[in-house]
Amino acid sequence: MESIKILRLGLRNYQEVWDLQTQIHQALIQNRNNEQHFDCMHTLILCQHPHVYTLGKSGTEGHLLADEKRLKDIDAQFYKINRGGDITYHGPGQLVAYPILDLNRLFTDVHKYVRLLEESVIQTCSDYQVEAGRIKEYTGVWVDIHSAKPRKICAIGVHLSRWVSLHGLAFNVNTDLNYFDHIIPCGISSSEKSVTSLEKETGKSLDIKQIEDEFINHFIKLFDLNKIEIQ
């Protein structure tokens, strides 16, 4: 069984974690033929970010509805990045997971990879009696999927280079959903679908550390990995 390093970073600046991802990603590729090397291990970064909007390479900058002054007023940053997908928001109370996996050693199937990420969140929601699922036309995790207006609880955007993954998912736990008013999330109009959080769906504030624990347990089982916690 392959092992994975778990890095819990708490609240960290987006650029800092992006740089860390890149460093780990490059080390994993460079040392992939030496499986005893510590830098050859898969890694899962878990964190929260201060308010930030990120735009994927296939996104439309016009989906950011706030100008530079407005971003400053709401204390938010904006980054263009190399993941797939459109624009999304990260902020306190949102669990962000960045799996850096050498899929060449697990399975070379991008569709399966994204489905397993979604399933990790679906099962975590189920722990709180929130029924979540997928919508065929869209990536991510949704609740009330059979209604006229499903609600998105988790956004997913990934990038693969030489079958090593970057970026990941953003799971709304106790997230301030007002920040989504400044974007067209993932390019989907609010008249079609909306965003939600686990807090909103359960009606109570949740312990994000506990959510983290449960997400990790589901993730490692689904990917058949052995976890190594790094302090």
- Considering the chain, what is the average pLDDT of its residues? 90
The pTM is what? 0.92
User: Mind telling me the catalytic residues?
Assistant: 186
All structural domains of the chain with their residue ranges: 2-230
Instruction: Tell which CATH classification among 3.40.720.10, 3.40.50.410, 3.30.930.10, 3.90.120.10 matches the domain 2-230.
Output: 3.30.930.10
Sorting pLDDT into bands at 50, 70 and 90, what band is 1? confident
Residue carrying structure tokens 């306190």: 92
Which pLDDT value is given to residue 81? 82
Residues 143-196: pLDDT tens digits? 999 988 899 999 999 999 999 999 999 999 999 999 999 988 655 555 456 899
197 contacts 175 by C-beta, under 8 angstroms? yes
Measured from the Cβ of residue 3, the count of other Cβ atoms closer than 10 Å reads 13
3-class secondary structure, 5: strand
Hey, what are 156's tokens? 């997913």
Measured from the Cβ of residue 181, the count of other Cβ atoms closer than 10 Å reads 13
DSSP single-letter state for residue 75: T
Q: Which residue, 85, 86, 92, is CA-closest to 114?
A: 85
Calpha distance 143→132 (Å, rounded): 4
Measured from the Cβ of residue 216, the count of other Cβ atoms closer than 10 Å reads 21
**Which stretch of DSSP H or E encloses residue 16?**
helix 14-30
Amino acid identity of residue 107, one-letter, is: F
Hey, what are 200's tokens? 């909103």
Which pLDDT value is given to residue 36? 59
Residues 81-110: pLDDT tens digits? 878 778 889 999 999 999 999 999 999 999
Question: 35: left (phi > 0), else alpha (psi -120 to 50), else beta?
Answer: alpha
Which pLDDT value is given to residue 123? 98
Which pLDDT value is given to residue 180? 92
Q: Which residue, 63, 48, 37, is CA-closest to 13?
A: 48
